[in-house]
Structure 1
Amino acid sequence: MSAGLITIIGGSGFIGRHLVGRLASRGYRVRIAVRDTEKAAQLMTQGNVGQVVGMQTNIRNQASVERAVAGADIVINLVGLLFESGSQKFNAVHVEGAKRVAEAAKAAGARQLIHMSALGADEKSESNYARTKAEGEKAVSEAFEGATILRPSVVFGAGDDFTNKFARLTACLPALPLANGGRALMQPVWIEDLADAIVKIIETPEQQGKIFEFGGPEQVSLRAIIESILTETRRCCPILSVPAGLMKVQALFLSLLPGTPMLTIDQVRLLEEDNVISGTAAGFADLGIAPTAMGSVIPSYVRRFRRGGGLKELHG
Structure 2
Amino acid sequence: MSSQLHVVTGAFGYSGRWIAKQLLSEGKQVRTLTNAATRDDPFDGAVEVHPLNFDDYESLVDSLRGADVLYNTYWVRYNDNQRNFNHGIAVENCKKLFDAAAEAGVRRVVHFSVAKPDQAPGWTYFAGKVETERLLRESGQSYAIVRPTVFFGGGRNVLINNIAWIMRKIPIFGVFGFGKYPIQPVHIRDVSRVSIELGASDENITRDIAGPERFTYREFVSLIGKSMGVRRLIIPIPPIIGWLAGQMLGIFLRDRVITRAEIRGLMNGLVASEEEPLGEITFSKWIGENGSDLGREYQNDLQERRYNR
Same-fold status (TM-score > 0.5): yes
Q: Distance in 2 between matches of 1:232 and 1:193?
A: 22
Report the counterpart of residue 297 of structure 1 in structure 2: 286
Report the counterpart of residue 167 of structure 1 in structure 2: 164
Does 1:120 find its partner at 2:86?
no
Q: Distance in 1 between matches of 2:255 and 2:197?
A: 34
Does 1:129 find its partner at 2:125?
yes
Report the counterpart of residue 84 of structure 2 in structure 1: 87
Does 1:277 find its partner at 2:287?
no
Answer with 21-30 or 84-93: which moved more: 84-93
Q: Distance in 2 between matches of 1:61 and 1:224?
A: 47
Does 1:6 find its partner at 2:3?
no
Report the counterpart of residue 49 of structure 2 in structure 1: 54
Report the counterpart of residue 306 of structure 2 in structure 1: none
Number of matched residues? 293
Q: Could you tell me which amino acid in structure 1 is paired with residue 194 of structure 2?
A: A
Answer with 84-93 or 257-266: which moved more: 257-266
Contact 2:65/2:104 (CA < 8 Å) preserved in 1?
A: yes
Contact 1:32/1:40 (CA < 8 Å) preserved in 2?
A: no
Contact 2:24/2:30 (CA < 8 Å) preserved in 1?
A: yes
Aligned-pair distance for 1:189? 0.7
Aligned-pair distance for 1:2? 2.1
Per the alignment, in what secondary structure is the counterpart of residue 30 of structure 1?
strand
Unaligned runs of 5+ in 1: 285-289, 308-316
Report the counterpart of residue 154 of structure 1 in structure 2: 150
Report the counterpart of residue 179 of structure 2 in structure 1: 182
Aligned-pair distance for 1:154? 0.5
Report the counterpart of residue 265 of structure 1 in structure 2: 260
Aligned-pair distance for 1:98? 1.6
Does 1:210 find its partner at 2:205?
yes
Report the counterpart of residue 65 of structure 2 in structure 1: 70
The superposition leaves residues 175-195 of structure 1 with CA deviations (integer Å, 9 ceiling, x where unpaired) of: 222211332212111111111
Contact 1:55/1:68 (CA < 8 Å) preserved in 2?
A: yes
Identify if the C-alpha distance between structure 1 residues 67 and 166 changes in structure 2 by more than 3 Å, giving closer, same or farther.
farther
Q: Distance in 2 between matches of 1:106 and 1:100?
A: 10
Per the alignment, in what secondary structure is the counterpart of residue 39 of structure 2?
helix
Identify if the C-alpha distance between structure 1 residues 111 and 40 changes in structure 2 by more than 3 Å, giving closer, same or farther.
farther
Q: Distance in 1 between matches of 2:3 and 2:158?
A: 34
Q: Distance in 2 between matches of 1:42 and 1:237?
A: 36
Report the counterpart of residue 94 of structure 2 in structure 1: 98
Q: Which has the higher contact order (CA 8 A, sep 6+)?
A: 2
Unaligned runs of 5+ in 2: 297-309
Report the counterpart of residue 238 of structure 1 in structure 2: 233
Contact 1:233/1:303 (CA < 8 Å) preserved in 2?
A: yes
Per the alignment, in what secondary structure is the counterpart of residue 240 of structure 1?
strand
Q: Distance in 1 between matches of 2:114 and 2:218?
A: 21
Report the counterpart of residue 195 of structure 1 in structure 2: 192
What is the TM-score when the length of structure 2 is the normalising length?
0.85
Identify if the C-alpha distance between structure 1 residues 261 and 217 changes in structure 2 by more than 3 Å, giving closer, same or farther.
same
Q: Distance in 2 between matches of 1:98 and 1:140?
A: 9
Answer with 242-251 or 9-18: which moved more: 242-251
Q: Distance in 1 between matches of 2:164 and 2:247?
A: 23
Contact 2:120/2:265 (CA < 8 Å) preserved in 1?
A: no
Report the counterpart of residue 225 of structure 1 in structure 2: 220
Aligned-CA RMSD value: 2.5
Report the counterpart of residue 105 of structure 2 in structure 1: 109
Report the counterpart of residue 24 of structure 2 in structure 1: 24
Q: Distance in 2 between matches of 1:137 and 1:53?
A: 27
